[in-house]
């Protein structure tokens, strides 16, 4: 009887895991259908209403798709996309590499929080667009100034969310590590960082939006190039349908990068999805 019960326990656990996996898969499939249907409905409404408006003031999906196809064939949109993405990737990566350790240290050590917390909060609240002329003086009008603008807009939400994540780690977990004579570096690596990963990922998601905004701002106010240049040029020419094309590409870029952060979270913290049930 004892052997039978021992064999039955793992089987029950496996069946429960399979059932949870199937339920999760069905839930995500249902959500995908809802997203597709809502997108189709919004596009249909936009198409109908957009045709009633003067094309100088607005456009509609089929006209935007036609303009996008022309830009794709002549290569303008591809060139602009590549030009825009390069500083975005560099600036965002630098913000993540610098911001996450700062957030961990400020959240873990009260001395650092007291010394630098006020400046981090001030930097997040400051409208950094106002500093663009200063960045131009420091870095010129090339690639470096775009990276600097994207970096400055992206780093603060990453720091603040990481900082908040460290402070939300239960005190009992730290005390257990201390009781087992763990060093401060071990507590940081084996307790604090794993517990903070969901907050870090939230910061990275918010950083994507800020980074994309910074990318467009940099292209508007420095060397006019990339997707920002297309928006300005088509807007000045009153080509409304053409202007919507780079705007939609920017939106799609933000959605794609946010989805990539979600994939990364599932890789580095697979347990979080099972805990939250999402």
pTM score, two decimals? 0.82
Rounded Cα distance between 160 and 10, Å, is 42
The alpha-helical segments, DSSP class H, found in 168-239 are: 171-179, 184-187, 193-221, 226-236
> In 83-108, which positions are buried (b, 16+ CB within 10 angstroms) versus exposed (e)?
bbeebbebbbebbbeebbebbbbbbb
8 Å CB contact between 207 and 157: yes
The number of residues making up the chain comes to 278
8 Å CB contact between 192 and 177: no
pLDDT of residue 223: 72
Rounded Cα distance between 61 and 79, Å, is 23
197-228 pLDDT per residue, tens: 889 999 999 999 999 999 998 888 887 778 88
pLDDT of residue 105: 92
Rounded Cα distance between 74 and 212, Å, is 25
Quick one: DSSP state of residue 237?
Answer: T
Q: What is the pLDDT along the chain (278 residues), one digit of tens a residue?
A: 445 444 444 444 455 445 555 555 566 677 778 888 988 999 899 889 888 888 778 888 898 999 989 988 888 899 999 999 999 999 999 999 999 999 999 988 889 989 998 999 998 888 888 888 889 888 888 889 999 999 999 999 999 999 999 988 888 877 787 787 777 788 888 888 888 888 999 999 999 999 999 999 888 888 777 888 889 888 888 888 889 999 999 999 999 999 998 888 888 776 666 555 55
Q: Hey, what are 242's tokens?
A: 């053409």
20-63 pLDDT per residue, tens: 555 555 666 777 788 889 889 998 998 898 888 887 788 888 98
Residues 6 or more apart from 68 whose CB is under 8 A from it? 77, 245, 248
8 Å CB contact between 112 and 119: no
Residues 6 or more apart from 159 whose CB is under 8 A from it? 99, 100, 102, 103, 106, 120, 124, 203
């Amino acid at each position: 009887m004892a052997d039978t019960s021992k064999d039955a326990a793992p089987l029950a656990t496996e069946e429960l895991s399979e059932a949870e996996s199937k339920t999760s898969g069905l839930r995500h499939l249902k959500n995908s259908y809802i997203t597709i249907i809502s997108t189709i409905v919004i596009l249909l409404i936009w198409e109908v209403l957009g045709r009633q408006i003067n094309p100088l003031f607005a456009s509609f999906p089929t006209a935007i798709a036609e303009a996008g196809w022309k830009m794709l064939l002549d290569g303008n949109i591809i060139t602009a996309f590549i030009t825009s993405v390069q500083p975005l990737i560099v600036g965002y990566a630098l913000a993540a590499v610098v911001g996450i350790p700062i957030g961990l240290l400020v959240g873990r050590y009260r001395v650092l929080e007291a010394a630098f917390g006020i400046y981090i909060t001030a930097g997040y609240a400051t409208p950094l667009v106002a500093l663009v002329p200063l960045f131009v003086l420091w870095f010129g009008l090339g690639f470096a100034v775009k990276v600097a603008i994207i970096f400055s807009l992206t780093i603060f939400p990453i720091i603040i969310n990481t900082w908040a994540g460290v402070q939300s780690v239960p005190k009992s977990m730290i005390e257990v590590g201390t009781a087992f004579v763990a060093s401060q570096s071990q507590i940081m690596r084996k307790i604090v960082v794993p517990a903070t990963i969901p907050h870090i990922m939230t910061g990275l998601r918010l950083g994507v939006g800020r980074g994309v905004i910074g990318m467009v701002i940099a292209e508007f106010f420095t060397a006019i190039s990339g997707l920002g240049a297309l928006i300005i040029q088509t807007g000045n020419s009153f080509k409304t349908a053409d202007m919507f094309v780079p705007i939609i590409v920017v939106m799609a870029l933000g959605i794609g990068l946010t989805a990539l952060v979600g994939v990364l979270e599932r890789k580095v913290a697979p347990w979080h999805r099972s805990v939250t049930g999402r």
